Structure 1
Amino acid sequence: MKIKFPLLLSAALSFAAFEGIAQAKFTHSHNDYANNTPFYKAYNNGFNSIEADIFLVDGTLLVSHSDKYLEPERTLKGMYLDPILYALRRDTTRRLNLLIDVKDDHKKTLPALVKELKPLNAYLLSPENPNGRLKILISGNRPVPSDYKDYPDILWFDDDLVYPHTQIEWDRVGQVSLNFENWSKWKGQGPIAEADRKRLKKTVDSVHTHTGKLVRFWGAPDTQESWDTQIGFGADIIGTDRIEQLAGYLAKKTLRKPVTASIPNKQAK
């Protein structure tokens, strides 16, 4: 039986009692490869999650947002997998999410990814390795939920609430990521419209209640006002292109999850 997610269905939610209480947040480096020091800036600033967009080109996984800017030296292995392997060997307490946004045909690209992940197998989170310190999340062009079973369980999936899921399929979902602009056109300056804030909070609460999954909004304004607003309506993971600024902002507010905290597949009960 498919479980359909009733988005925005319930107004009286169990999380309502926590409204107004700011919770510590996980940090996500959006399009990390585009900053001036890929991987290392986010990692050294204690980010819990890092994002890389990939294409499969002649058997090699290349990192780029667009196929117009592919460069043969910008490989997933060299930019992310090798540095992560080195970092996790050095720091045995560190935990990390690598969100991989597949930009081309996932049916060809995901098998190539699984092959390239083999040197990291001992660190990969899976039901068989629940203490794994690296979670691989697949976003972008990804399988439909009914096909999750066809992929190794070292791969978790980013969800956008488009398709219904069985419970087994929900168990393969690592988090929910939603396009902020579908809820609000606010540009991150001055207060957000109250109707938008309520709509965003209701969405987050509904995801929490009906799936237990953590929520991230992509495409949200990348300003302090936006970060504060996201904290206020309960987003669990705050994404940014401004790594040092977000790290400092959350540290100052003592609202930052530690580097030893992995982003869980479900909220703690």
Structure 2
Amino acid sequence: MLIFNKKALLQDHLATAIAAGTSIGFVPTMGALHSGHLSLMQQSVNQNKITVVSIFVNPTQFNNPDDLKKYPRTLEADAAKIKTLSDDIIVFAPEVDEMYDGNTTSQHYNFDGLENQMEGAHRPGHFDGVGTIVKKLFDIVTPTNAYFGEKDFQQLQIVKKLVVKNNMPINIVGCAISREPNGLAMSSRNERLTAAEKEDAAFIYQTLQEAKNKFAESSITTVKDYVAHAFAAHPEYKTDYFEIAPEDTLEPATVKENTKYRAFIAVFLGNVRLIDNISLN
């Protein structure tokens, strides 16, 4: 397995493949890999001649310094997990100064309003950080296809918008959410949950499933009231937001129309912030 820490060395290695038009799949991650990440990598391996995986904890997308400090960094274990899939996957694991050239600031982006909803409203500057690092990584790797999980559905839509606005010839592939046996959406943050909390967190997806059932026959207001009361009965949770929104605009919906809707939730369980979403139709 090849592991690069310098962007110039990675670009030199990929240059021949790029010149020959070889398909390159790219899976950007922040490490602390789990089965969900590995499923993205497997899809890339299946669909491309070359797969590159980045492992980089991006400081500019954290609006909470304590969250950044606590984020797990497990490069050696991550490399071992990747190796179980293929020895041919290329890993790019740069330092912060390598990516930001000593100036760790984010560029401001306009994603046509997508950045102002949900995660953007609750985590100021988050999507500027996401856009900045994804654009940098795309410029370095120049992938044919890039793979993102639907757990971060808002991020997925923003990356698609980033590619369109920058005229980048990259196909963005959204991949289904990977879940624990109890339904909890897989996330690197889950490692910070106790065993009891991880089991209790099944309630999040159970509530989303019931919200989907109610959405088929009830108003949006009724569904939102149900979710609010469900979590109010479980004081171990603190709800950040619950929204129902069209998949294309992500703007909070009040009346159902002929469009694809998704329910989005962010909650704190203990000190760990968890997000999830579900397609409603």
What range describes the TM-score normalised by the shorter chain of this pair?
under 0.3
Higher helix fraction (1 or 2): 2
What is the TM-score when the length of structure 1 is the normalising length?
0.28
